[in-house]
Amino acid sequence: IEPKDGVVTINAQQGTTEIFKGVQSQTFGYNGSFLGPVIRVNEGETVIFRTKNELAEPTTFHWHGVDISGEGDGGPHQLLGPGAMEDVKFTVRQGASTLWFHPHPEGSTAEQVYKGLAGLIYVEDNNSKNLNLPKEYGVNDFPLVFQDREFTVEKQFDYQAVRNDDGTIGDTLLVNGTINPKLTIGKEKVRLRLLNGANARNYTFKLNTGDKFQQIASDGGFLNSPIEMSKITLAPGERAEIIVDFSKYDTESDIALLNEDDAILLPFIIDEQKTNPLQISTSLNDFAVTDKERNLSVTKKLELFGMGKMVYINGKQFDMNRIDFSQKQGDTEIWEIYNKPDAMGGMIHPFHIHGTQFKVVSIDGNEPPVNLQGWKDTISIEAGQTVKLAVKFNNKGIYMFHCHILEHEENGMMGQVEVI
């Protein structure tokens, strides 16, 4: 959907969805019963997101990855009760990217996302409009939201029954809310905008043929040039855009995206008709970590630690009434995030900051891999790793930073930075 007279209407709703043939499952969705729309906006445009909570419980509308004021960010402070409406007005001040939105009420983020509240935001800019890339929505440019869920025998969600303090996982994969998905594409280059929308699970995407694909974008925009990859891992909250060249396969070939363990994530059906010899642009962006940023000293140190209910940032658990850090609007600071192992080794925490896109300066003192040399808002940090991020907020307000394993976030692995 696109703004009409500058307004995009987004309603959080509950309803029923036929996920399994002949069965209605109770679900949540935006502007519908399950998941949500793709909202398309342009850099420089001023838009109003006209949000309404039609659920029977409080929620918030959080714009993950959007450069927006703390007030508009939809974190736990911006709670909307049942029936409440809120206009969020902002000017799009970031380049082409695939962002997303989901609820963020304290204590029920994980459950509301689990039941289906998630949608996408595409930002386009003058650069993206002129690049040679597949860009026909639903033809050669597809959003793909990967989530795992557990259903009861009645094919319902029972979040409380399966909730896990280290992240709720399920035995059923949903892609764009569909079980046993298949995607029909043309014999051409196809752009897949991947979102890991799971509460806790990582996905590693690879082709069953072993062929490489090209990654063109990370969370917050294009990489400088397409990167050849044989696989890519996304932690919860992360996105990547990839281009798969289907023109080299016969229509009868079995082509699929597999997970790390070779489980099928998405099989493709190649349709002969849609042929289109597109030369992908080789220069996509001008992202760089500057020398100045590289030479800044660390001004914020965060230590991630724990598992289950005992998860901490700098030894503390989230408190709505405590501001953990402050930072000046427009200043770049280096945040050093250390994932401290525990006696059992520890676990990966996908670390996310609201209201901005950051640059990865180093991982354990080294240059990040080339596909992390682009705008990011969530970074997967392994136990024992230290990551330095260059973080700048363009707006003021209070912003969350947290582990994007949603149950960790809910168990207190979250803090607040106030931008003044």
CB of 85 to ligand C2O, least distance (A): 22
CA dist 145 and 178 (Å) reads: 10
376 binds ligand C2O (CB under 6 A): no
Which of the ranges 1-9, 10-18, 60-68, 138-146 carries the binding residues for Cu ion, by CB under 5 A? 60-68
Pairing, β 38-42 against β 119-124: parallel
Q: Rounded to whole angstroms, how far apart are CA atoms 25 and 197?
A: 19
The residue (of 207 and 419) whose beta carbon lies closer to ligand C2O is: 419
**Nearest CA-CA partner of 35 in 50, 56, 14:** 14
Lay out the sheet containing 38-42: strands in order across.
Answer: 38-42, 119-124, 97-102, 62-64
- String of contacts with ligand C2O for each residue 208-247, x by CB under 6 A: -----------------------------x----------
| Closest distance to ligand C2O from the beta carbon of 168 (Å) | 15
Nearest of 232, 216, 402, 229 to residue 324 by alpha carbon: 402
What tokens does 217 get?
A: 């974008």
What phi-psi label fits residue 281: left (phi over 0), alpha (psi between -120 and 50 degrees) or beta?
Answer: beta
Q: Alpha-carbon distance 31 to 345, whole Å?
A: 43
Q: Which is nearer to Cu ion, 359 or 408 (CB)?
A: 408
Which of 175, 403 has the CB closer to ligand C2O?
Answer: 403
Site string for ligand C2O, 327-356 (x = CB under 6 A): -------------------------x-x--
* Site size for ligand C2O (CB under 6 A): 10
Which CB sits closer to ligand C2O, 392 or 402? 402
Q: Which residue is nearest to ligand C2O (CB)?
A: 64
Binds 403, which of ligand C2O, Cu ion, none (CB < 5 to 8 A, cut-off by type)?
Cu ion
Q: Supply 103's token pair.
A: 């609820």
Q: Measured from the CB of residue 412, what is the shortest distance to Cu ion in angstroms?
A: 11
Pairing of strands 232-234, 264-276: unpaired
Contact flag: residue 64 with ligand C2O (CB under 6 A): yes
| CB nearer Cu ion, residue 256 or residue 400 | 400
Q: Binds 405, which of Cu ion, ligand C2O, none (CB < 5 to 8 A, cut-off by type)?
A: Cu ion
The answer for residues whose C-beta is within 8 angstroms of residue 142's C-beta and 6 or more apart is 183, 185, 190, 191, 192, 193
Measured at the CA of 412, the angle between CA 411 and CA 417, to 5 degrees, comes to 150
**Per-position x/- string for 394-413, each x denoting binding to Cu ion as judged by CB under 5 A, each - no binding:** ---------x-x--x-----
Q: Please identify, using beta-carbon distances, which residue of 17 and 357 lies nearer to Cu ion.
A: 357
H or E element in which residue 149 lies: strand 141-149
Q: Among 135, 124, 130, 126, which residue's Cα sits nearest to residue 47?
A: 124
Nearer to ligand C2O, 217 or 256 (CB): 217
Length of the chain: 420
Q: How far is the CB of 410 from ligand C2O (least distance, A)?
A: 11
Write out the two tokens for 86. 């809120």
Q: Is 353 in the site for Cu ion (CB under 5 A)?
A: no
402 binds, among Cu ion, ligand C2O, none (CB under 5 to 8 A by kind): ligand C2O
User: Should residue 104 be labelled a site residue for ligand C2O when binding is judged by CB under 6 A?
Assistant: yes
Q: Which two tokens stand for residue 33?
A: 């019963």
Alpha-carbon distance of 73 to 63, in angstroms, equals 6
Here the tokens at position 148 are 């795992």
Report the 10 Å Cβ neighbour count for 326: 12
- Which one, 354 or 359, has the nearer CB to Cu ion? 354
What is the C-alpha separation between 395 and 392, in angstroms, rounded? 9
**Residue 80 binding target from ligand C2O, Cu ion, none, CB below 5 to 8 Å by type:** none
Nearest approach, Cβ of 381 to ligand C2O (angstroms)? Answer: 16
| Backbone phi and psi for residue 316, each to the nearest 5 degrees, phi listed first | -120, 155
Cα(219)–Cα(202) distance, integer angstroms: 15
Residue 303-342 contact track with Cu ion, rule CB under 5 A, x = bound = ----------------------------------------
Near ligand C2O in 392-411, by CB under 6 A: 400, 402, 404
Binding-site partner at residue 104 among Cu ion, ligand C2O, none, CB < 5 to 8 Å by type: ligand C2O
Binding site for ligand C2O (CB under 6 A): 62, 64, 102, 104, 237, 352, 354, 400, 402, 404
Q: Which residues bind Cu ion (CB under 5 A)?
A: 64, 349, 354, 403, 405, 408
